[in-house]
Structure 1
Amino acid sequence: MNLPPLKSLPVFEAVARLNSFSLAANELHITQSAVSHHIKGLEDYLGEQLFIRSGRKLELTVEGRQYLDNITGSLNQIARATENVRGITETKLRLAVYSSFAVYWLIPRLPKLKRQHPNLDLTIEMTFSEPELSDRIADCFITVENDKRGFEFDWFYTERLFPVCSQSFYQDLLSELGIDTTEELEALLKQQPEVLAKFPLITSYSMYERYAEDWRRWYLEQERALPEGINFHRFSHLMLAHEAAAHSLGIALVNDYMFNETTPEDGLVKLPCTIHNAQDSFYIAYKHSRRHEPALTQLRSWLRNELNELTLP
C-alpha cells in the first residue's frame, strides 16, 4: 500500500481549512515550524505544490484543492471509526442550507429540534448560491442538486410560488378593485388574473436568474402572457422580495417555506389565486458512506417529519 506520510495529512487539512499556518499550529498544539515541515514533506512526496504563498496571503493550488477534497472524507471516516471503537458517538453535524430556507423555515424550528434531540450539536452553514457538495463544506446539505457520485439524495419537497402582500396593501387592493370579500377577489382573479398587473409587482432575480421571469411563469401557468406596462420593484434575492411585500411595497411571489398561513407573523396575506409549481425540487444530500451515522440519521428523520408543514392547501 503506497501511502503518503500519514502524520502530515491532518496538518495539511488544518492549514487548508483555517487558511493559516499559525492557526493550524495552535489547533494542533505544535509549532509553526513543525507545520511548515509537514507541508514541505508532503509536497516533496507528492511532487506538487499544495499552497501558494504571497506575503500574508495563503491559497490552495488547484492540485491542493483536489487533494483536500479527496482526503477529507477519508480522514473523517478514520476519526469516526476510531470513536465508534472507543464507544464515542459523534453528535456534531454541519448542515449547509440556502439563506432564505435557513432564515424563514429552519431557524424558527431549531428549538423543536433541540428538544427532540438535545445531544445533536448542529452547525448551520448558510449559502447564497448552490453549495459545493463536499465534506470540506458540510456533512449534510439542502440543495436542488440531485446527482453527484458518492452522494445520496432524499427528495425533500418541490417548490411552489404564490402571490402575497401585506394586510394594509390587501385592503387597498380590495378597495381599488371595488370588492369587499376574499371570495369576490378569488372569483375575479380566476377570470382575470391580469388585474394584479394594475398594482406594483415585486420580482426577484435569484430564482430564475432573470427579473420578472417569476411572474412570467406564474401568468403562463394560467395561459396568459405577462401584461405590459407593469410597475416592477426588482430585488436580487427572494428574501428581499419577501421583506418588500411585508413593508407594503407591492405583491410578491414567495414559496411555501417563507410563508406560514396559520400564524403569519410577518403580516402577509396569501392572495386567493393560482399557485405556480416551480421546476426545482429540494433534496437532503449526504455521502453514501455516511448514511448510517447516528447524528445524520437523526437529522434526516427530523427534516422528513417536518416536511408536512411545508405543504399548503
Structure 2
Amino acid sequence: MRLPPLKALPVFEAVARTLSFSAAAEELHVTQSAVSHQIRQLEDDLGESLFERGGRRVALTEQGERYLEAIAPALAQIERASEQLRGVTDSRIRLAVPSSFAVSWLIPRLPHLQRQHPELDLDLEMLADMPLMSERLADCFITFRYRQRGYSSERLYVERLFAVCSRQYWNRVRDELDEAGLRKRGSGVTIRPEWLTRFTLLSAASVFERPGEDWRRWFAAGEAKLPADAHVQHFSHMLLAHEAARHHQGIALSNDYMLDTASDPDLIKLPTHELQTGDEFHFACKTARRNEPGIRHLSQWLVKQAEASGWKV
C-alpha cells in the first residue's frame, strides 16, 4: 500500500476549503510556510498541481477538486471514528448557517428544538458567505449553494424581498403620500414603486453582492426604474439595513426569515410588490449521513419550523 504524505492531507483539505494558505495556517495553528511546504510535498508525491496560485488568490485545479471530493469524506470518517473511541457521543451536530438566518430566525427557535430533542447537542457555525460544503467545516448546512456532488438537501425557503420600515417612519410615509394626493387618507391602496423615491432607501450589498442592486431589481420587478438621484444609504449586510430601518432611518428590503410581523412590533411590511431573488435555502448534508438519527431529526424539525413560519416552499 503506497499512501501519500498523511500529514499533508488535513492541510490540503483546509486550504481547499478556505482557498487561503494563511487562513488554513491560522486554523491549523501552524505557519504559512509550513502549509506551503506540506502542499508542495503532496503535489510532488501525486505528480499533479492541486492549486492555481495567482498572487494572494488560490483556486483548486480540476485535479484538486477531484482529490478533495475523494478524500474529504474519508478524513471526516476518521475524525468521527476517533471521537467515538474517545467517548464523544454522536449526538453532537455541527450546523453551518448564514449569520442573518441564524440571528433572526434559528436562534429564537432553539429552545423548542432543545425541548423536543434534548438528546441533540447542536453547535452553530456562523457563515459570512457560502463556502464549499465540507464535513471538516460542519456536519450539515443551511445554504442556498446546495447543489454539490455527494450532498442531499431539503428545501426550506424560497426567498422573496419586500419593503419594510418602522411604524414611526411609516406614519411619515403615509402622511407625505396623503398630503401629495397620491393616496386617499386612511386608504389601504398599494404603494407604487416610484412613490418610495421620496424617502431614504436602505440598501444591503450582501443580497446581490453589489451596492444598490437590491433596490434596482425591486424597482424593475415593479415595472419602474430606480432614479439616479434617489437617496440610497448603503450597508454591507441586510442585518445592518434591517436595524437602520428599525431605528426610523428609512425603508429597507427584508425577507421572511428576517421579519416576523406577528412577533415584531417595531417593523411593518409596506403594501407594495415583492421581488423573487431566485435563491432557495436548503438544509444540506452528506448523502451517506442523511439517515443518521441526529441529522434526520434536525432536518425534520427545520422543515416543520419552516412550514409553521408560513414560508412559501
TM over 0.5: yes
Change (3 A) 1:227 1:135: same
CA–CA distance in structure 2, aligned partners of residues 302 and 198 of structure 1: 43
Counterpart of 1:175, as a letter, is: D
CA distance in 1, matches of 2:6, 2:113: 38
Runs of 5+ consecutive residues of structure 1 not aligned to the other structure: 23-38, 49-59
Aligned sequence identity (%): 44
Q: Deviations over 1:199-237 (max 9, x none)?
A: 111111111122222122222222222234211111111
8 Å CA contact retained: 1:69, 1:135: no
Contact 1:96 1:131 (8 Å CA) reproduced: no
Q: Paired residue for 2:105?
A: 105
Letter in 1 for 2:289: R
Mapping for residues 167-186 of structure 1, pairs under 5 Å: 167-178=167-178, 184=186, 186=188
Q: Who is 1:288 aligned against?
A: 287
| 2:301 corresponding residue in structure 1 | 302
Provide the secondary structure at the position in 1 that maps to 2:112.
helix
| 1:230 to 1:18, Cα distance in 2 relative to 1, 3 A | closer
Name the structure 1 match of 2:92. 92
Give the whole-Å Cα distance in 2 for the aligned partners of 1:121 and 1:295.
Answer: 9
Point out the structure with max Rg over C-alpha. Answer: 1
Q: CA deviation at 1:9?
A: 7.5
1:209 maps to which residue? Answer: 209
User: Any conservation in 2 of the 1:69–1:136 contact (CA below 8 Å)?
Assistant: no
* Alpha-carbon distance, 1:169 to partner: 0.6
Alignment check: 8 A CA contact 2:152 2:284 kept:
yes
Partner residue of 1:20?
29
Describe the shift of the 1:11–1:127 C-alpha distance in structure 2 as closer, same or farther (beyond 3 A): closer
One-letter amino acid of the structure 2 residue matched with residue 111 of structure 1? P
Runs of 4+ in 1 over 4 A off after TM superposition: 1-18, 42-48, 60-63, 65-70, 78-89, 181-185
Task: Name the CA distance, whole Å, in 1 between partners of 2:220 and 2:8.
Answer: 58
Cα root mean square deviation, aligned? 3.8
AA aligned opposite 2:139: D
User: Quick one: distance in 2 between partners of 1:11 and 1:164?
Assistant: 45
Match of 1:253 in 2: 253
Q: Distance in 1 between matches of 2:10 and 2:144?
A: 32
Change (3 A) 1:270 1:290: same
* 1:157–1:283 Cα contact (<8 Å) kept: yes
**Partner AA of 1:19 in structure 2:** L
Match of 1:142 in 2: 142
CA distance in 1, matches of 2:164, 2:155: 26
Shift of 1:274: 1.2
Residues 115-163 of structure 1: per-residue CA shift (max 9 Å, x gap): 1111111111111111221111111111111321111122221101111
Q: Match of 1:25?
A: none
Q: Which amino acid aligns with 1:144?
A: F
In structure 2, stretches of 5+ residues that fail to align are 15-23, 32-37, 48-57
User: More deviation in 254-263 or 88-97?
Assistant: 88-97
Equivalent positions of 1:94-243 (< 5 A) are 94-178=94-178, 184=186, 186-189=188-191, 192-243=192-243
Q: Counterpart of 1:257 in 2: which secondary structure?
A: coil
SS of corresponding position for 2:284? strand
- In the other structure, the counterpart of 1:278 is 277
CA contact (8 A) 1:114 1:120 kept: yes
Q: Is the 8 A contact 2:190 2:271 kept in 1?
A: no
TM-score, length-normalised on structure 2?
Answer: 0.75
2:157 and 2:311 in contact (8 A); partners too: no
